[in-house]
Amino acid sequence: MAEVRYLHAVNRALADALAADPAVVVFGEDVSEAGGSFGATRGLRGRFGEDRVFDTPISEAAIAGAAVGAALSGLRPVFEIMFMDFTTLVMDAMVNQAAKARFMFGGQSSVPLVMRTPHGGGLGAGPQHSQCLEAWFAHVPGLKVVCPSDPSSAYGLLRAAIEDPNPVVVVENKALYAMKGELPDTPEPMTIGRAQTLRTGRDLSFVTYGAAVHTCMAAARDLAAEGIEAEVIDLLSLQPWDFDAVLASVGRTHRLVIVHEAVEAFGPGAEIAARMAQDGFDELDAPIMRVGAPFMPVPFSKALEGAYIPSAAAVVNAARRVLA
Q: Does 59 bind other proteins (CB under 8 A)?
A: yes
User: Among this protein's residues, is 129 annotated catalytic?
Assistant: yes
Q: From the list 5, 12, 45, 52, which residue makes contact with other proteins (rule: CB under 8 A)?
A: 52
CA distance 72 to 254: 46
Instruction: Say whether residue 23 binds other proteins (CB under 8 A).
Output: yes
CB neighbour list of residue 53: distance below 8 Å, 6 or more residues apart: 18, 25, 26, 27, 31, 32, 41, 44, 45
Rounded-to-integer distance, Cα 26 and Cα 51, Å:
9
Among 2, 141, 281, 295, binds other proteins (CB under 8 A): 141
- The region of 49-57, 174-182, 197-205, 304-312 touching other proteins under the rule CB under 8 A is 49-57
**x/- letters, 153..172, toward other proteins (CB under 8 A):** ----------xxxx------
Q: Which stretch binds other proteins (CB under 8 A): 61-69, 268-276, 278-286, 301-309?
A: 61-69
Closest CA to 6 of 157, 107, 122: 157
The CA-atom distances, in angstroms, between 280 and each of 156, 158, 215, 250, 255 are 30, 31, 25, 7, 10
Q: How far is the CB of 153 from other proteins (least distance, A)?
A: 19
SS (H, E, C) 101-135: HHHHCCCCCCCCCEEEEEECCCCCCCCCCCCCCHH
Choose, from 8, 119, 129, 260, the residue flagged as catalytic: 129
Nearest Cα to Cα of residue 256 among 279, 227, 276: 276
Among 2, 51, 281, 282, binds other proteins (CB under 8 A): 51
Instruction: Please report how close the Cβ of residue 207 comes to other proteins at its closest, in angstroms.
Output: 23
CB of 94 to other proteins, least distance (A): 12
Please report, as residue ranges, which positions from 86 to 105 form the binding site for other proteins (by CB under 8 A): 92-93, 96-97, 101-105
Among 12, 129, 144, 260, which residue sits at the site for other proteins (rule: CB under 8 A)? 144
Ordered alpha helix ranges (H), 53-208: 60-71, 91, 99-104, 134-138, 151-163
Select from 9, 17, 71, 250 the one that contacts other proteins (CB under 8 A). 71
The answer to whether 61 contacts other proteins (rule: CB under 8 A) is: yes
Closest CA to 245 of 287, 288, 198: 198
Residue closer to other proteins, measured from CB, 104 or 304: 104
Residue 65, CB-side half-sphere exposure with 13 Å CA sphere: 8
Rule CB under 8 A: which of 278-307 touch other proteins?
A: none
Q: Which of 232, 125, 240 is nearest to 174 (CA)?
A: 125
Residues that bind other proteins (CB under 8 A): 23, 25, 51-52, 56-57, 59, 61-62, 64-77, 92-93, 96-97, 101-112, 141-142, 144, 163-166
